Structure 1
Amino acid sequence: MAAPRPPPARLSGVMVPAPIQDLEALRALTALFKEQRNRETAPRTIFQRVLDILKKSSHAVELACRDPSQVEHLTSSLQLITECFRCLRNACIECSVNQNSIRNLDTIGVAVDLILLFRELRVEQESLLTAFRCGLQFLGNIASRNEDSQSVVWVHAFPELFLSCLNHPDKKIVAYSSMILFTSLNSERMKELEENLNIAIDVVEAHQRQPESEWPFLIITDHFLKSPELVKAMYAKMSNQERVTLLDLMIAKIVGDEPLTKDDIPVFLSHAELIASTFVNQCKIVLKLTSEQHADDEEALATIRLLDVLCEMTANTDLLSYLQVFPGLLERVIDLLRLIHVAGNDTANIFSTSGCVKAEGDVSNVAEGFKSHLIRLIGNLCYKNKDNQDKMTANNTEGQRS
C-alpha cells in the first residue's frame, strides 16, 4: 500500500501539493502564479522548495558537461528545470515581495550558473533551449523594476552570461539576454562596459542580425548613445559594417519622432566631434570607389555614412552652430566635392553616371545620394554663417581660376 500523501497547503484558497517534488506539482504552482492574488499570498517556503529541485536537477546538467554522452539522458531533469524557472518567472511578475524572497535565497546565482552550463553543452536540443529561454526570462522578471535584484543579477551575470548569450544562434536567447542587459544597465555599469567592449559590440551585431528585436535597439539608443566615451571606444574597435549599423541608429535617434532633449544635446555634441573629426580625416577614402576593385569597399562606405550623419546633425539647430565652426570641415567637404567632380569627368566610374552613392544598412549596397549630401552639408554649414559663406565664395573663385 502506498504511503499517504501529506496534506496539501493552501495558497490563496487554492489547494496545492505541500512537498513540491514532481513535475505535476510544479506545473500546478506555475499556473497558480499567473494570478496576482496567488503571487501576493505565496508562502516564502515554497520558493525554497523550488530552489531545492532546481539545484538537484542541475547536477544532471553538470554531469552532461563533463560527459557529453549523458546529454541524451537529460530529458527529465530539463523538464523539471524548465518548470522551476517558469514557476519562479511567474512568481516575480509585478511582485517585489516575491522578487526579494527569491533573490535572498541566492536563486539568481544558481540560475546564472545553470544557464552558463547550458551554453557549455553546445547542443541545439529543443528541451535544452526551452530551459535556457525560461531561465533567462526568470532573470529578466526578477530584475524588473527592482534595483536590488538588478545589482545581484549584474554581479552574477556580467560579463560571462552576456558574452555567452548575445551571440547565441537562437533568436529568443539573444532577445531575452538583451532584455536582462537593458534592465540592469545604469550609468555606473556603463563604465564597466567600456572595459568589456566585446559585449557592447555584440549588442550591435545582435541588432544587425535581428533588426526587428526591440531590446538590442533600446540598449543602443537608450544607453549606449548616452555615453560618448563608450561610443568613441566602440567605434575604434568595430568593423566597418558594425560602424554603419551604429551610425544608422544615431541617425534614427536624431530624426526620431521625439526631438533631442536638453540632456541629449551635450551628449550629441560629443558625438558630433567624433563624427566630424573622423570624416575630416578619412573622407578621401571615398575616392577608392572610383576603382572597380574597390566598388564595395566597406571602409569607404562607412565613411559615406558619416556624411549622412553630419547632414542630419546640421539640420538640428543646437548641433549646427558647433559643426559650422568645426576646424577644416567645410573646407574638406568642398574639396571632396571638387575631387569627385573631377573623377567623374576623367573616367567611367560610379561617380560619372548616377553621380552619387550612399551607404545603407547593408554596406555592400551602393545607392544614390552622396553628391547631393555633400551639397546639402555645404548648404547647412553656410546657413546664416557669414564666415562660411565667404569661404565658399573664395573657394568658388579659386576653382574658376584653376
Structure 2
Amino acid sequence: MALPNKIGFDEMNTENSTYEDLTKYLQDEFKLKCDETGQYSYPSLSDQTIIKIIEIINELKTNVDKQIKISDSLPLLRQIYLTLRNSVAIHKSVQKKISINNEILDLTNFLITALSSNETYINCLIVILQFLGNLVTQNEQQLQVIIWDKFNEILLLLFHSTPNRIPSIVGMILYNIFLQNKQLIPDDIKFIKNAIILYESESDYGELLLELLLQTNILIRYYSELEVTQRFVLLELIKGTMFDDESTLITNELMMFISTEFKKKSDCILKTVTDYVNKIEPQEVVCLLDIIASASCLNKYSSCLIQDKSLLINCVFLLKSIHSVGKEGNNHFSAIQKLSELTLNEKIEPTIKDHPGFGFKAALIRVVGNLCWKNTENQNLVRELEGIQLLLDCCNIDARNPFIIQWVIFAVRNLCEGNPDNQKLIAGMTKAKTVDSETLQKMGIVLNDDSANKIGIIPMDLKK
C-alpha cells in the first residue's frame, strides 16, 4: 500500500507495511537536495527514527542469517544504509549518535560479515561499507578508535580480499581512521603488500595509505621482506613526493635508511657491465641513487646526508670502479663520445637508455658534489680518496651520461670553494697534451696548444 507522506517514519506501523513499501517511503522522504548556493541538505534522523531503523535492521538481519526472503530484504537493507550513509555525512549530531550506538554497530558488523561471503550481495555490501566510511570520516578521534575496535577484523579481511571495488572502499575507511590514529596502523607485512596492490590499481586511497605508512617506521622494518617490484613502487612514490615543500612524508630517518640500502646493494650495478637482462634489482639501486641525488640538494635532507661519510666514500669508490670498467672495452659503462657511435649503437641496441647504467655516473658525481658543498671535512675526504683526479677524468662528453661535464664542473667547484688544499692540488696539475677529438675534426676545428700553456680552437687548415 502507498504510505502518506505526512506520516513520519518513526510513526509508521512497519508491521503492516511491506518491505517494498518501506523502501519506497525511504526513497521519497530521504533525498539529498542541493539549493541554489550549492549547499546540500538531507533530512536528519531523530532518536525515534533511529530506534525504528534498528527494529527493521534486526528483522532483516534475521532474514539474512536464516537465508529467507533475501530478494525482498536486500533492497530495503540497501535503502536503509543509503539513508544512514547520507545522514551521518551531513549531520554531525547523527554521526555521533550512531557512533556510540552499540546495537547498530553490532548489527552492521554482522551484516558486513554475512554479506561479504556471497558475491551476489556486493551492491548492498558496498553501501553498508560506504556508510561506515562516512561514519569515521572527520569523526572524533576516540569514536574512531571505538569503531576500529569493533570492525578491525572484518575490515582487514576485506582489505586482503581479491581485487574488486571492496578493497578500495575499505581503504577509504582505513585511511580516515588511521589519519588521526597512526598508532592503529597494522604492524604487518600483509597490510603493506595489500596497500601496494591497491595503489597499483590506481586507487587514491592506496596512495594515501602508503603515504601514511611512510610517516611510520613500519616500512623500514618490513622493506627487506617486500618483493623487489614492491620496493620499487615505494621508491617511485618517495621520488614523487620529496620535492613537496610542505610534505612531511620523508623523514630524516627514512632518508638515512635509503642511504643504507644503497650502500648495501650498489655493487650489483657492476653485474650489468656486459650482459643485462631486464631485472629489477639494479633498477632498485638506480632509484635509490636518484632519491639520494635529489635529496642531497634539498636543505631538509642534505644536513643528514652530508654527515654520512660512508655514503660519500661509497659513491667515490663506485664511481672509480665504473669509470675503470668503462675504459676496459666496449661495454655498458663505456663512454659514447661520437654521435656516429651513438647512432650505430642505437641501431644495434635500442635500449641504451633502459640500461640501469644510463646516467649512473652522472648521478654519482652529482651526489659527491652536493655532499661536499661548504663542508671542508668532505672536501678533504674526496681529495684523500683521489676523487678530484677521478672527477676530472670523467669530464668528457658521454651520451650514456647526459650533462656529465656540467655535473663534474659543479662538483669541482664545490670541492674547491673555501678549500685552499684542493685548489692547490688542481693548480699543481700539469697538462700532458691536447687530445684530438674526432667530433671536433668533423666540424673542421681542432684544439691548439700555443706553448704558453693556453689552449684554443682553430680551423684544421691553419693547424696544418
Query: The TM-score by the shorter chain falls in which range?
Result: 0.7 to 0.9
Output the aligned Cα RMSD.
3.3
Give the conservation status (yes or no) of the 8 Å contact 2:235–2:288. yes
Out of 207, 221, 228, the position equivalent to 1:233 is 221
What SS does the corresponding residue of 1:9 show, helix, strand or coil?
coil
Give the conservation status (yes or no) of the 8 Å contact 1:53–1:80. no
Sequence identity, in percent? 20
1:131 Cα deviation (Å)? 1.3
The answer to which of 142-151 and 338-347 deviates more is 338-347
Give the conservation status (yes or no) of the 8 Å contact 2:99–2:147. no
Out of 256, 260, 276, the position equivalent to 2:259 is 276
User: Which residue of the partner structure matches residue 362 of structure 1?
Assistant: none
Relative to structure 1, the CA distance from residue 383 to residue 291 in structure 2 (aligned partners, 3 Å threshold; closer, same or farther) is same
Give the conservation status (yes or no) of the 8 Å contact 2:259–2:292. yes
Q: How many residues align?
A: 363
Q: Which amino acid in structure 2 is aligned with residue 245 of structure 1?
A: V
1:216 to 2:216 alignment: no
Out of 307, 314, 321, the position equivalent to 2:289 is 307
Relative to structure 1, the CA distance from residue 194 to residue 38 in structure 2 (aligned partners, 3 Å threshold; closer, same or farther) is closer
1:55 to 2:43 alignment: no
User: Which residue of the partner structure matches residue 452 of structure 2?
Assistant: none
Unaligned stretches of 5+ residues in structure 2: 34-39, 338-353, 391-464
User: Which residue of the partner structure matches residue 232 of structure 2?
Assistant: 244
Out of 170, 174, 181, the position equivalent to 1:177 is 170
> Counterparts of 2:322 and 2:57 in 1: how far apart (Å)?
65
1:158 Cα deviation (Å)? 1.6
User: Which residue of the partner structure matches residue 140 of structure 1?
Assistant: 133
Q: Which amino acid in structure 2 is aligned with residue 158 of structure 1?
A: N
Aligned pairs for 1:38-187 within 5 A: 38-40=42-44, 42-63=45-66, 74-106=70-102, 107-121=104-118, 123=119, 125=120, 128-147=121-140, 148-170=142-164, 172-186=165-179
Pick 1 or 2: higher relative contact order, CA cutoff 8 A, min separation 6: 1
Give the conservation status (yes or no) of the 8 Å contact 1:178–1:216. yes
> Counterparts of 1:53 and 1:290 in 2: how far apart (Å)?
71
> Counterparts of 1:198 and 1:159 in 2: how far apart (Å)?
14
Give the TM-score normalised by structure 2.
0.69
Higher relative helix content: 1
1:37 Cα deviation (Å)? 5.7
> Counterparts of 1:327 and 1:385 in 2: how far apart (Å)?
11
Unaligned stretches of 5+ residues in structure 1: 65-69, 356-364
The answer to which of 30-39 and 135-144 deviates more is 30-39
Relative to structure 1, the CA distance from residue 78 to residue 397 in structure 2 (aligned partners, 3 Å threshold; closer, same or farther) is closer
Give the TM-score normalised by structure 1.
0.78
1:272 Cα deviation (Å)? 1.4
1:168 Cα deviation (Å)? 3.5
**What is the CA deviation profile of residues 339-369 of structure 1, one whole-angstrom value per residue up to 9, with x for unaligned ones?**
22334444655444789xxxxxxxxx75643
Give the conservation status (yes or no) of the 8 Å contact 1:81–1:131. yes
> Counterparts of 2:161 and 2:320 in 1: how far apart (Å)?
44
What SS does the corresponding residue of 2:89 show, helix, strand or coil?
coil
Give the conservation status (yes or no) of the 8 Å contact 1:16–1:29. no
Q: Which amino acid in structure 2 is aligned with residue 198 of structure 1?
A: K
Q: Which amino acid in structure 2 is aligned with residue 157 of structure 1?
A: F
Relative to structure 1, the CA distance from residue 190 to residue 197 in structure 2 (aligned partners, 3 Å threshold; closer, same or farther) is farther
1:95 Cα deviation (Å)? 0.9
User: Which residue of the partner structure matches residue 199 of structure 1?
Assistant: 191
User: Which residue of the partner structure matches residue 358 of structure 1?
Assistant: none
1:183 Cα deviation (Å)? 0.8
Q: Which amino acid in structure 2 is aligned with residue 237 of structure 1?
A: E
1:385 Cα deviation (Å)? 1.8
Relative to structure 1, the CA distance from residue 193 to residue 201 in structure 2 (aligned partners, 3 Å threshold; closer, same or farther) is farther
Q: Which amino acid in structure 2 is aligned with residue 156 of structure 1?
A: K
Give the conservation status (yes or no) of the 8 Å contact 2:32–2:86. yes
Give the conservation status (yes or no) of the 8 Å contact 1:27–1:87. no
